[in-house]
Structure 1
Amino acid sequence: MNSQQETINWSQKSLDELREFWYAEIETALRRAGHDLESRPTYQDLVDAGFSGIAYTLREHHDMTLTDFLRSVGYDGPGSEDSYQWGIGDETTIDALEAFLRRAERKRASSTADSKRYRLATYVRLYEAVHEMAAIVDRVMDVDNEYDELRRVEAVLNELDDDLKSNESKLRYLSDIRQFYDHLETRHGAPFNPTDNVDHTEIWTQRLDGEKDNPALSSAQVGTLYTTADGPEEQLLVLALCAWGLRRSEVAGLHVSQLVLDGDDPHIAFDDRKNGPGTVALIYGVPELTDRLDALGSGDREWNGYLFPSTESSSGHVTGETIQARFKRLAQRAEVRVRGEWPTSKTGRRFWYTTYNQAMSDLLDNLDVIAGEQGSSDPSVVLKNYLSEAERRKYRREFMRERLAEAFEG
């Protein structure tokens, strides 16, 4: 018996986990064995690669044939010329899904696009099952449907919450679903994205990270705060907490002498920083920071160099409590709440962390194709072993900058 087959506990895998295993492990092994993944693998191909156990598991534990399973991961049945079967009755939505995936295939490995196809098919089928219709595109074309559609999407995500075991898997579903709605906005003219404000982002992220008492602002909420901000000082406050991930005390005492803005690596330098590095990269918001410095320097000859100065404090700058109070007042004006409460500086800092994790996930998705060529199912191996530190930093910042721009610029 193949040693690889012996190590796979097939019977313990859910159907969703089998599909994830297909994309992560089996297709990589088939590609390494020389199989053309544009054509449907046979049972013998799987046997030769050491994965014969999947057929028994599908039949005995999931009441599914191998043909049905292969169809669910993007392969037509034997001799079939039909396109992928989405399993819904709305042609407009199917056309939009196919257009979205064609763009995804141009940007990423085909296996990644196949994984997206499966997760999106699961979503649209659940949507139709829950709401007895699948006119997803038509629904988001009418701005009057925005509130109702948020509730509709949340109802489907609740079904996913029940069906899926892993919070990491749930977040991958949500990421793909959100990207599809982003596509409807940018390419089809939809006036809103109903996934921007769903509660599941915070819930699943905190379950995954084990930090249930430290919720995060969503990307849409950060954008609302930034848009509501009254002038450059409040905008800088949002940038410092959400785009740079600073603690409120660090924001309060930020001084011009700490800023290194020349060259390709703008950053903030800290002589002594709790539980972290001595520098913080300024990935986003440098022009706004520069404008704020110019305004402070030209408007007050007695300026002491602090970005949030105070003439009433012996330190020359505001306190962390003042930063907290200002952030809360801004949230109240913007009517932004997190779990029914006014957000704190920690929710802004938590946004930075969750956004960084999402950016890293995007980066790893884009390294899938390189990993496959190197014979690895884990793109993090490529990140660690095949890219220099300068390249890793460059790519991390590019993906993080893109995520932050989505939040602050919409």
Structure 2
Amino acid sequence: MSDQTYNWSRKSFDELVDFYEREIARERQLEGYDPNKDIPSYQWLVEHGYSGLQYAVREHHKMTLSEFFEQAVGLGDGGSADSLSWPIDNEQMIEYLEQYFRSQQRGSAAESTLQSKRSRLGQFLRHYEDLHGTAAIVSRITDVADQPEEIQRVTAVFDVLDKELESNDSKRRYRSDIDDLYSWLVDRGYGAFNPVRYDHEWDVSKRDNPALAPVQVGSLAVATENTEEQLIVLGLCAWGLRRSELANLHVENVNLQAESPYLSFDTRKNGPGTVALIYGQDILEDRIAQLSDRQGWDGYLFPSPDARRDHVTGETLNRRFKSIAARADAHVRGELPTSKMGRRFWYSAYADAVETVIERLQSVAHEQGSSDPMVVFRNYLSEEKRREYLREAMRDRLAEAFDHDAEGETNSGL
């Protein structure tokens, strides 16, 4: 069947996910692949008449194929960068890329960071191949005489990305990753020059990370309709979890019996870590009690209705978060907020809490003959006391946001 028959551009995001599960997964299984784990290569999609899927997820949902299959469909082996396929048709270039990522894996970068970098480089090379007929970038940087032409080719790809990417922060990450790949190729002797150093200027120095305001968080809290939705808002805004971490949250991550309850993770983006449960513990307890009554519950706090999966995906939680925001009529720059904006609220609230603690130490610093209260904070307070002060200030910030909505009314939902 040809791509034209599928009307890719008319399918909603959920319809694309459903299409994979109904059509593509069945065909993959017939060919011996694991449809719940193995990510289809772009070449496989082309050969089977599904190449239009790439255009649909890129143009209408701002995702790469790898991001769609991992985040929306839930494929992959749980985090290995090797599980991702490259969206190019050049075996030699793919070998260079695998060498590059093997060198990256020997460093301290987390697997999730490498996955994101791999996705960005894949998108760059796919555009390069579409524009210039090949992804064999190495052959075009071996002779300095080719430098002017290659700079123009790379700049043409950046022009395409410039239209696709919405924020300066995204552009900064793409440019950094592409620059790093070219630098690695030159350092290893595969190339003679790095064309990224000469591309047209992106305004990558200005960060563009809008966050939810406290009153909007209060509106979201009011708009929740059940414990599950309350947990979504709390997990993102009060605990600062990434949506993938929240989607994967398991009862084994929860420690409510400690003097200061917390969540623990064996693997986060920057390694193992804990998250303090400063606010909303009662909702978490209610959710666990609610799920504990379900027959066969396996411990995930957001179990998937699909029997083939243990839990929902991060993209599913993002859609639910936006639905809550729609009910609350909460918008950021005219658009419904994403889960990242909830997490950014947490960072903003934490920064305010730090500032509050520092202001409280101003008089202590003055008595010690210092004009900088940070000296007191860092050098004269124990780690336990610093944590206590910050938690108290953070609890005040969260209570102020969650307990009042945009009209200043006291909330009863959370």
Give the TM-score normalised by the residue count of structure 2: 0.47
Give the TM-score normalised by the residue count of structure 1: 0.48
